Structure 1
Amino acid sequence: MKTKRIVLTGGPGSGKTALIKYLENDGYKVMHEISRDVTLEAQRQGIEQLFLVNPILFSEKLLEGRLKQFNDGKKCTAPILFYDRGMPDVTAYMDFVKVHYPVNFSEICTEYRYNEVFVLPPWEEIYEKDNQRYESFEQAEKIFHFLKNGYENYGYKTQEVPVGTLEERANFILANIN
């Protein structure tokens, strides 16, 4: 049986990471988001927001890390593997900030395919800024649309996850995996 690769994506403050942790605690295999790690590493080197200072370098590091996750996922024997963001998130964010990126970014997103994509909308009641999340809620709403359109531009049919409890959201996703 081949493992289904399922991406959970959404703008900042959508509850995505909490949902991934919930699924993991429920026994599902997950690949965690790596952007905070990239940001923290840059901060240790004295760069407060690498994405704002050098969006191409930040995005290259993300794409490299997500490609590694994708390849590591080939070893997974579980029926479902959840990804906290996928490779098309990189180009969607670049489109959001209107920065031209190398053509190989799109080539990687086209070549390495996930089975399904679930998009979480921004949720104002749970939205918080922190040291790695610098976007306003209004920006989070715009990012959500760039992510949804970005995946759809790569040929994915996205499914929007309704707001609700972690259990309700997880049940929605599990019930809607093809």
Structure 2
Amino acid sequence: MVSRLVVTGAPGAGKSTLLETLAARGMAVEREVARSILQAPGGMEMRARRPQDFARAMLEAESAAYARAAMNCGATLFDRGFPDIAGFLKVEGLPVIDAVERACRDRRYTGPIFRAPPWREIYWQDEERIQDWDGAVASDAAICAAWRMYGYELIDLPLASADERADFVLRQQSN
């Protein structure tokens, strides 16, 4: 059975580090698609000047990741998912694109859906993570609201080391 789990939540809250830790333990993971788009030539400009095109690019990449997970017999943990794209559009003050709406409704994750809450002690900005602390908190609120709007329950990750968080995810997944 294909199992699709997600870690979502605040920017800079340790999601990527958690995925790296779980990948090292042998779990199949799909890395955050937005970051790879931002790192590509023109990605930052597209996010800043054409956020709807950025959302479409994220949708295309997330759709490919979602399809790849079907090839995996076990669980795949995603760094973000379709509702994150809807949350991004809300943060930008834009309506949710029909294709994103359909993906959120029709391409379901089987859970659990883990939330990495804002964590000030580890938050830092970089070239792709451009939100200040208040922006990161606002992004978390919009993203969580989007996940709930599409019928998902979120499980907060503990504010703990990556290894402790990985143990938490593995315990929750086996329940």
SS of 1:57's partner is helix
Q: Distance in 2 between matches of 1:72 and 1:174?
A: 21
User: How far, CA to CA, are the matches of 1:102 and 1:95 in structure 2?
Assistant: 11
Deviations 1:139-176 (A, max 9, x none): 11111111111111001111111110111111112212
Residue 125 of structure 2, aligned match among 105, 119, 129: 129
Quote the residue 1:15 is aligned against.
14
Residue identity in the other structure for 2:45: Q
Distance (whole Å) between structure 2 residues aligned to residue 13 and residue 102 of structure 1: 26
- 66-75 or 92-101, which deviates more: 92-101
Superposition RMSD in Å: 1.3
CA positional deviation for 1:3 = 2.2
In the TM superposition, residue 27 of structure 1 has moved relative to its aligned partner by 0.7
Q: How many matched pairs?
A: 173
Asked if residue 24 in structure 1 is aligned to residue 20 in structure 2, the reply is no
TM-score, scaled relative to structure 2: 0.94
Q: How does 1:17-166 map to 2 (within 5 A)?
A: 17-41=16-40, 44-45=41-42, 48-77=44-73, 79-116=74-111, 117-166=113-162
- 1:33-54 per-position Cα deviation (integer Å, ceiling 9, x unaligned): 121221122xx24x64321210
Unaligned runs of 5+ in 1: none
Structure 2 unpaired stretches of 5+: none
1:104 Cα offset (Å): 2.1
TM-score under structure 1 length normalisation: 0.92
What letter matches 1:148 in structure 2?
C
